[in-house]
A = this chain, B = another copy of it.
């Protein structure tokens, strides 16, 4: 990290970039480090490909968002991004900067940088930014803390995912002591449901059926259902868990008709079934308890095929 600090201290005009479709960790890390550098007296710009999503519009530091007009930066810091392609059009800002720093927690990172810091054990890039700001001897203001707390809660699912570490909690403890309005953040990030998502959730519940003595839950969304609400990718998140979370269920299958006659299948298991094995029968893959596949065919036919495979291993 000494190398990074050295580079930062010797830079004055800094660009911050992160991946496209920036999420809470990407934006929280970007604005967090940007505010810290601003506090150090540097000229800082954050370049984004898309507007900040509504769900994250409370993040402080957005006054630093700028439009790129080909100007020169003596440093570009890229956060939470494993590949140049994920920078979209802003790859050129990174390429053109005199010096480059990349800070990331993804397992596979192939970025080129003068200062490269990859820590796969970090639950969020925000945790690394926290350590960097500490090492830079900059005070963690409430505004910085809001960004870093948001980064950590989004990437750990609110300290629930397996990537959460004792350190995630230690950092959260310090951030909370800086008067972060964490209940408001939690509400914005986790408890806001779009109208489309609610409609899809309702249909998922309506279509849910139990099989094999309640050990298997199956639900689906048809192409027309999805089209009718102009659903975003986000809206499907977690729908497979409606079945998975049901008491007594071991395997949950969720089918979503992505194109007419083509189903994307998500499989989840709770305790013992290897769903990656089941997905592989249909040329899919994944982990033991979370896998997926894609299959052409009618709804009934698709359901029956997958149920028959599940039945073999229950």
Complex CA–CA separation, A23 to B202 (angstroms): 30
A219 to chain B, nearest CB (A): 11
Take A158-B160, A165-B176, A177-B166 as given contacts and tell me if A245 and B183 are in contact as well, using a CB distance cutoff of 8 Å: no
Contact A247 B193, beta carbon cutoff 8 Å: yes
Q: Is the CB of B195 within 8 A of A201?
A: no
Instruction: List, in ascending order, chain B residues with CB within 8 A of A170's CB.
Output: 169-170, 173
Given A170-B169, A176-B164, A202-B202, do A245 and B158 touch, yes or no (CB 8 Å)? no
Q: Across the interface, do B192 and A245 meet the contact criterion of CB distance under 8 Å?
A: yes
* Chain B residue with the shortest CB-CB distance to A167: B173
A187 touches B270 (CB 8 A): yes
Determine whether the beta carbon of A166 is less than 8 Å from that of B162: no
Tell me whether A205 is interfacial, beta carbon within 8 Å. yes
Return chain B residues, CB-CB under 8 Å to A173. 166-170, 173
Q: Which residues of the other chain, B, contact A314 by a CB distance below 8 angstroms? A: none
Interface residue range, chain A: 35 or more
Complex contact A193–B161 (CB within 8 A) = no
A241: CB under 8 A from chain B? Answer: yes
The binding surface of chain A is classed by DSSP as helix
Task: For residue A241, give the distance in angstroms from its CB to the closest CB of chain B.
Answer: 7
The complex is assembled from copies of this chain, and their number is 2
CB neighbours (8 Å) of A159 from chain B are 158-159, 172
The answer on a CB contact under 8 Å between A169 and B176 is yes
Decide if A241 touches B176 in the complex (CB within 8 Å): no
Contact, CB under 8 Å: B160 / A183: yes
In the complex with contacts A170-B170, A174-B166, A202-B205, A191-B245 CB distance below 8 A: yes
Instruction: With both chains docked as a complex, state the minimum distance between the C-beta of A205 and any C-beta of chain B, in angstroms.
Output: 4
Please give the distance in Å from A218's CB to the nearest CB on chain B.
14
A241 CA to B190 CA in the complex, in Å? 12
Question: Given A169-B172, A173-B169, A247-B192, are A183 and B161 neighbors across the interface (CB < 8 Å)?
Answer: yes
Determine whether A186 belongs to the interface, using a CB cutoff of 8 Å to chain B: yes
Chain A stretch 173-214: residues in CB contact (< 8 A) with chain B = 173-174, 176-177, 182-183, 186-187, 190-195, 198, 201-202, 205-206, 208, 214
Cβ-closest chain B residue relative to A180: B166
Asked if A231 is at the interface (CB within 8 A of a chain B CB), the reply is no
Docked Cα-Cα span, A164 to B172, in Å, equals 11
Could you name 15 residue pairs across A and B whose Cβ atoms are closer than 8 Å? A158-B160, A159-B172, A160-B190, A161-B183, A169-B169, A173-B173, A187-B270, A191-B241, A192-B247, A193-B245, A193-B247, A194-B247, A198-B205, A201-B205, A202-B205
